[in-house]
Structure 1
Amino acid sequence: MNSTLQPTALTEHVPQPVTRTERVQTIDLIRGFALLGILMMNIPGFGFPYTRFPLIYGTPGSTDFYTAMGIDTAFSGTMRALFSMLFGAGMLLFMAKKEDLASGHSVVDFYYRRLLWLVLFGVINAYVLLWPGDILYAYGLCGLLLYPFRKLRPAYLLIGMMLCMILPVLRNIQNTVETKQKRTTYWEAVKAEEQKKKLTDEQKKAKEEWENQLKWTKFDTKKDAEIVRKMQLGYGQVFAKLMPRNSNIESRGMYYGFWDMLGMMFLGMALLKLGFFTNKLPTSTYWLTLGLGYSIGLLLGNIQFYDQVAYILDPGAYVDTHFFSVFDLYDLRRGATAIGHASLLLLVYRSGVVPWLMKALANVGQMAFTNYLMQSIICTLIFYGYGFGYYGKLAFHQLYYVVAGVWVFQILFSAVWLRYFRFGPFEWLWRSLTYWKRQPMRLQSEPVPAAPQTALF
């Protein structure tokens, strides 16, 4: 059942996307798993006001609390990590095609054209489909930087990954130091007020910043109601409500997310070159990565969840007693858990125990681009006011009933669609734009395969 990865010269004289028989099935099934899983992380953003999270984390023993614990421990950040890894791996596979094509273009031309279109699709997802958590825009920008690293050996790519992980840790430690200083200055301001002394500008600022930070940990009924009211309005009003947030995420948010994404892309490139994603490693190796990944990732994930609970219940005590937080190990935690998930999938794939499930995931993964945008379309119509208006009406755990329903639909839709067509509809559009030529869509028009390949999505 091992998939191969031995690119050879293309037999066609014109550039074209890979055929279904050329795809690496293990990569598709991992991508399908990540695509379905990422909806677990995105669904609160679609249908749940962030103001209610203090109620979830601050109410131990509730159904919502245990739902959050399971999601945070095993899945938080890991699906995006898998997507990032596979994006890096996909870049190498795309670049493995013949460098200079008979059309007079280099594959590099198509690679960068492909990414620029991806950036545009991300803008559409954020500003037309109104999903604030879009990753296409950010991936397109990060992908533009990957090309110079394509020939690095796995060891150097892993070093690059570690550097990308260290930088956010240093930034987080700096933030922790600054928060502690603000906390100290805040207490100085409180004592000064008790003594009827005039506060310095620094004390006023520290007091205001700390009190604003405390507001995030308390449920605000009025603010919650106002958010729900605005999200229950028409398209124009929802657009106006989300515009500042979307703009912030796709500008300032890139500063914080850049190293996060780039590091995982480097890791994905290294894992592909090592044969991890293409199912080439010994079974014992996958058992080892499964054990290490879950041991590290799930342990840190559970600690991180209870750290979050401790902070919500008493922010001051948490800041006073923690200099180094497990949150600083965010990338290590999610990267380790993601590798554990991928290892488990590959072991199940090798065992042949549930081939129908592996096929279903591979179908979803082959249409990942379509399915990702479809999640934005479906969920905004379910929750936003210009659709069915369920925003803020479901409990946190009930959001995952919607997730299950979308999963079933996308699994069935992908299976049926791929019985008749080579690509998902958005994959077809993206490839046609990339090669600036309408691509054959129906299966009977599929050309003879050349070499085993896969695509970025």
Structure 2
Amino acid sequence: MEAKEVISEKRIDELDYIRGFALLGIILVNILALLNIGIPEPNTLDASYQKFLYLFVEGRFFTIFSFLFGLGFYLFISRSFARGEKAYILFTRRLVILLILGIVHSMFHPGEALLFYAIIGIIILPFYKVNKKINLVISLVLLIVFAVLATKILLIIPLMLLGLVCGQYRVFENLVSKTKQIMLFTILTFAASVIGFYIQYQSIPSQPFINMIFMDADGTYDQASTFLRIGITIGPLLSAFYVGLLLLLLQFKVFHRLLSPLKYYGRMALTNYLGQTVFILIAGKLFITHQLSYIDTLLMCITVYAIQLAFSMIWLQFFKMGPLEWIWRIITYWKVIPIRRG
């Protein structure tokens, strides 16, 4: 009875908004790894857009997505327990499916996130029963350590654990009554982000660069690599500010309605995340003989946004969940789940 009182079955719309927002940023960076993109010419629009990506996008939206996976981890298991289900078995099956999807997806998109989410999900599963204060300390310590080391993949561990902690503390429940706390959080993270942004901006390369981190033979990093590493280090700060600002805006009805397409986009996160790769690879085939520019990738992403946002909004008028989310749920529960509304 207690678990049912603590964990509500009601969907938290704000999480869908945040998830949709994260998807918008993830594709802007992922497309660079999937297509043949040339290094921009100095003092061009492409060069300016490259700087924008690595100041405001890279390492920011991936961080949000990882955090949300940890929070979803907590909500799934808690609600399963509240319904009297075998939560650990269901969640493990869910991760195995995600692992298979990740393996297949990595064949087309090396370094993609789903594979790591599945593996790390198994690793942090025991932390579900750990005291929330202990989890909070562990997640923050690991987050600081891995951020300072600029180890992007390892950052997934504390980010997912921090998401689990926010679930334990019920941070995202009844957000309407937490406007003051959200405002304070947003102000503090903005101040920290300004400092971090200033530090990264001071190391910005004078010339366009390859978006890879290299270490020289003597163990030092060149200017571009230092710039990219600082971006990874401060990434969680800017991500926190983005989330705080979005939550603050959603307290107002006008923004709640204006940004509503993000809610539908986020509800079909798995379908849209994998769909992004499909669209990008198709575009790559069409332009296989062309050297694409950074601005070309932006235009492609805007096109994908338009298609997927429209599709998500239309699809969810008739169905309860996205097509891949539906298949994922069927295999998780090993039974056919009704998908049509009504």
Amino acid at match of 1:116: V
Q: Distance in 2 between matches of 1:111 and 1:44?
A: 33
Q: Once the 2 structures are TM-superposed, how far is the Cα of residue 258 of structure 1 from its aligned partner?
A: 4.4
Could you tell me which of 250, 253, 256 is aligned with 1:352? Answer: 253
Q: Distance in 2 between matches of 1:110 and 1:275?
A: 22
Residue 342 to residue 277, structure 1, CA distance change in 2 (3 Å): farther
Where does residue 158 of structure 2 map in the other structure?
263
Where does residue 306 of structure 2 map in the other structure?
408
Residue 331 to residue 73, structure 1, CA distance change in 2 (3 Å): closer
Where does residue 178 of structure 1 map in the other structure?
none
Could you tell me which of 21, 27, 30 is aligned with 2:18? Answer: 30
Where does residue 194 of structure 1 map in the other structure?
none
Highest RCO, 1 vs 2 (Cα 8 Å, sep ≥ 6): 1
Where does residue 399 of structure 1 map in the other structure?
297
Could you tell me which of 126, 139, 147 is aligned with 2:106? Answer: 126
Is this contact kept in 1: 2:3–2:81, CA < 8 A?
Answer: no
Return structure 1 stretches of 4+ with deviation > 4 angstroms. Answer: 169-172, 310-313, 318-322, 325-332
Q: Distance in 1 between matches of 2:309 and 2:221?
A: 48
Where does residue 158 of structure 1 map in the other structure?
136
Amino acid at match of 1:95: I
Is this contact kept in 1: 2:140–2:158, CA < 8 A?
Answer: yes
Is this contact kept in 2: 1:298–1:333, CA < 8 A?
Answer: no
Is this contact kept in 2: 1:125–1:134, CA < 8 A?
Answer: yes
Where does residue 226 of structure 1 map in the other structure?
none
RMSD value, Cα? 3.1
Where does residue 46 of structure 2 map in the other structure?
64
Q: Once the 2 structures are TM-superposed, how far is the Cα of residue 390 of structure 1 from its aligned partner?
A: 4.5
Is this contact kept in 2: 1:69–1:305, CA < 8 A?
Answer: no
Residue 27 to residue 347, structure 1, CA distance change in 2 (3 Å): same
> What's the CA shift string for 1:265-295, capped at 9, x where partnerless?
1222223334433326632222222222233
> What's the CA shift string for 1:170-190, capped at 9, x where partnerless?
756xxxxxxxxxxxxxxxxxx
Q: Once the 2 structures are TM-superposed, how far is the Cα of residue 48 of structure 1 from its aligned partner?
A: 3.3
Q: Which moved more, 1:336-345 or 1:367-376?
A: 336-345
Q: Once the 2 structures are TM-superposed, how far is the Cα of residue 298 of structure 1 from its aligned partner?
A: 4.6
- Could you tell me the TM-score, scaled by structure 2's length? 0.85
Q: Once the 2 structures are TM-superposed, how far is the Cα of residue 400 of structure 1 from its aligned partner?
A: 0.5
- Could you tell me the TM-score, scaled by structure 1's length? 0.65
> What's the CA shift string for 1:206-226, capped at 9, x where partnerless?
xxxxxxxxxxxxxxxxxxxxx
Count residues with an aligned counterpart: 330
Where does residue 143 of structure 1 map in the other structure?
121
Q: Once the 2 structures are TM-superposed, how far is the Cα of residue 148 of structure 1 from its aligned partner?
A: 1.3
Residue 140 to residue 326, structure 1, CA distance change in 2 (3 Å): same
Could you tell me which of 254, 261, 266 is aligned with 1:365? Answer: 266
Where does residue 31 of structure 2 map in the other structure?
43
Q: How does 1:25-424 map to 2 (within 5 A)?
A: 25-49=13-37, 52-53=38-39, 55=40, 59=42, 61-99=43-81, 106-127=86-107, 130-168=108-146, 257-278=152-173, 279=175, 282-301=178-197, 303-309=199-205, 319=220, 330=231, 332-384=233-285, 388-390=286-288, 392-424=290-322
> What's the CA shift string for 1:296-333, capped at 9, x where partnerless?
235424533552516978x99x95999xx676655551
Unpaired segments ≥5 residues, structure 2: 210-214
Amino acid at match of 2:172: F
